[in-house]
Structure 1
Amino acid sequence: EDSIYSDGYSALLTVIGVNRTTMNSKVKSTSKTEEWYKKRMCPRCGKDFLHLGSLRKHLKFECGLEPQFKCPYCEHRSKQKGNLKQHIQNKHRISIIEIP
């Protein structure tokens, strides 16, 4: 029985109600999560993305490109039309159906 607790780690896990197998699976799960996030980091600028589709959109329309959509009400510029529409609605309190 002493050999079970010889490392001190197993004893601590037993006291708090966690067995080593459960702990190891959580560590593996954390490693997978870290790997998942790494796959969604822009290789050009390092920006992180929660979804792979967002990274693809960023690479195609944003990364390294100048903003092409200008707000008609201020100096704000945006790289995506949807972001400009959101800016106008939030900052200028104007509802827009379509941006030319």
Structure 2
Amino acid sequence: MIMGVSTQLLKEDITFFQVSQQWPQGTKGSNFSCTRCHNTYTHRNTLLRHMRFECGVEPQFECPICYKRARHKFHLISHMRRHTRL
């Protein structure tokens, strides 16, 4: 582990970066497919977000009140609004 980051995660991040560099930037109507789970997306940025935060990654954002975890910060923010309504 290097400064709290496992070498496996570093290897996956390098592989992710190398694969993402091979995709064309401005292709409309193309399907971009995840190399890990084979989900397809119509936009390159959506696939990159999926690979970075969702596919094979534990949810990293945690509610400080009930400790529920979310994969995206905007999901956590909407969840935390429910606590304030109570």
Q: Normalized against structure 2, the TM-score is what?
A: 0.48
Q: Which has the higher contact order (CA 8 A, sep 6+)?
A: 2
Q: Normalized against structure 1, the TM-score is what?
A: 0.43
Structure that is richer in strand per residue: 2
